[in-house]
Structure 1
Amino acid sequence: MSRGRRAFIGLLAAGVVGTAAWLVFFSPVLGVRNVEIVGNLTVPTERIQQQAAIEPLHPLATVDLAGVQSRVLAIRQLATAKVDRIWPGTLRIEVAEREPVAVVPVSGKVALIDKDGVVIEIRDVGPPRLPVLKVDRPGADDAATRAALQVIASLPDVLQGKVRQVRATTAEGVSLDLNDGRTVVWGGSDRAADKARILTTLLRRKADVYDVSSPDVVTLK
């Protein structure tokens, strides 16, 4: 093959590569035409799309996936977000919403919090199915709050519906106020399965206070 022919083929190949690079990284031809949101139940799709802040026809290849994820997770109702490219022109955002497990009284209103102690939203009235959490310093960094939330999360369905309020003075001082006025001294968040199993049986017996803080030695008053 002559030198000129080799040079021509080289230029042709470079042109093809250059054109392909332009199409992928700079051209709107492979730009974002659709932002697909999946996994949301209560957070509107339009709100997530707006928070993602993706310009129409922005080259899909150069979308900052981590940046999109960070912006979407600024919505406090969302726990996780995964962002993927789907060629030729879709950006897919899969989210998981935080689920409230308790309410905390705040200045005449209530804050709905999830299992990690994150405030999801503020309402005038909390859902009746959620227990009220009473702690001195509610927050994700408070040991008593974390222990109480762990206890709530560990309760089986048969007990969750009976709990009106959860109190925690310390991480080892969690107690449950039941809907019928009875009280359960739970203690720490350890041995939750044993405590729940024993308490389910004990509640068949009449008493005002059930102490299962030490599952090996339980007391009724």
Structure 2
Amino acid sequence: MSPSTAVAAPRAGSTAAPRPGRGRGRTLTGPALAVLLLGAAVWVVGFTGVLGVRTVTVTGARALSAEQVRSAAAVPDRQPLARVDLAAVRDRVSGLAGVERVAVSRSWPGTVRITVTERQGVAVVERSGGVFLVDHAGHVFQRVAARPRGVPRLAIEGVGPADPATRSALAALTALPAPVVAQIAKIAAPSPESVTLHLSGRRTVLWGGAADSAAKAAALTALLRKPATVYDVSTPSIVTTR
């Protein structure tokens, strides 16, 4: 009979040795998982083409083509939509001569929307043998074959938005109702205070400066009912004809 083997009982308070492999697999906690998912979402949205630009839509273009606007916008295809610099796109499109205002926005998942407001020609100016449209603010923006019917010619040196004589002439033009504007062939302004309107039928209107344009427009509209060759509304409280 073999001798018995004594087995020592564990002491009170002692800890059993861990089994091999226990504790190696760990589960992500809620906050850690949230951070991981957020990072993945940022990467997908901001650094991949999954939510990239696929379409650039253009509305409001009439004289300009949609392709001209897209070319000026220069939005790279498949660029992450979240990283498109909308202000830069707006500035590039605003550089087109015929554009007055631009609005640019994102439309998920992959569209950049561009809305343009084009300049409207209210007068023309002759330059370098050509005829160019002028908008209500004095911007010269588009060459045309001939003066459109009902659109007056500005006989002013240095037509532009910063030119005082241009501003005075356009103040008169925008104050007048359409039926009167249709009768104007030419607007001369040697100075900001000496605007003269040349109407059809060899009639002349002495307008003066930009002050009291609304009162002058009302007075002229009434005076044109009387036949005359010269209408002086430069002082709207004392108008004369001859």
Same fold by TM-score greater than 0.5: yes
Name the CA distance, whole Å, in 2 between partners of 1:112 and 1:209.
28
- Of 75, 79, 84, the match for 1:54: 75
Of residues 180, 185, 191, the one that matches 1:159 is 180
- 1:86 aligned to which of 102, 107, 128: 107
Question: Partners in 1 of 2:150 and 2:55 — Cα distance?
Answer: 38
Contact 1:108 1:124 in 2 (8 A): no
- What CA deviation, in whole Å up to 9, does each residue of 1:38-78 have, x standing for no partner? 11122100110111111111100000111101111111100
Relative to structure 1, the CA distance from residue 120 to residue 210 in structure 2 (aligned partners, 3 Å threshold; closer, same or farther) is: same
Q: Which amino acid aligns with 1:37?
A: V
For 1:180 and 1:60, how far apart are their aligned partners in 2?
Answer: 59
Match of residue 230, structure 2, among 184, 194, 209? 209
Q: CA deviation at 1:109?
A: 1.4
Q: Secondary structure at the match of 1:30?
A: coil
Deviation, 1:8, is 4.1
- Cα distance between partner residues in 2 of 1:57 and 1:119: 36
Letter in 1 for 2:120: E
Give the one of 41, 51, 69 matched to 2:90. Answer: 69
Q: Supply the AA of the counterpart residue of 1:33.
A: R
Name 2:57's counterpart in structure 1.
Answer: 36
Could you tell me the TM-score, scaled by structure 2's length? 0.86
After TM superposition, which residue ranges in structure 1, 4 or more long, deviate above 6 angstroms? none
Aligned amino acid, residue 200 of structure 1: T
Any residues of structure 2 matched to 1:165-180 within 5 Å, and which? 165-180=186-201
1:115-174 per-residue CA deviation (whole Å, 9 max, x = no partner) reads 111111123422122100011332222110111111111111121111111111111111
Q: Is the 8 A contact 2:124 2:154 kept in 1?
A: yes
Is contact 2:150-2:183 (8 Å) kept?
Answer: no
C-alpha distance in structure 1 between counterparts of 2:94 and 2:51, whole Å: 26
**Contact 1:174 1:185 (C-alpha < 8 Å) held by counterparts:** yes
Out of 5-14 and 192-201, give the one that drifted further. Answer: 5-14
Indicate if the aligned counterparts of 2:137 and 2:161 stay in contact, CA closer than 8 A.
Answer: yes
1:7 deviates by 4.7
Residues of 2 paired with 1:135 and 1:187: CA distance?
15
Q: TM-score, normalised by structure 1?
A: 0.93
Q: Distance in 2 between matches of 1:95 and 1:208?
A: 43
Q: What is the letter of the counterpart of residue 65 of structure 1?
A: L
Indicate the larger mover: 177-186 or 138-147.
Answer: 138-147
Of 138, 158, 168, the residue aligned with 1:117 is: 138
Gaps of 5+ in 2: 1-22
What is the aligned length? 219
Q: Give a deviation string over 1:153-210, Cα, whole Å, max 9, x none.
A: 1111121111111111111111111011100001112222221121112112121100
Please, what is the CA RMSD of the aligned residues?
1.7
Q: Name the aligned partner's letter for residue 126 of structure 1.
A: R
Gaps of 5+ in 1: none
| One-letter code aligned to 2:205 | V
> Secondary structure at 1:105's aligned position in 2?
strand
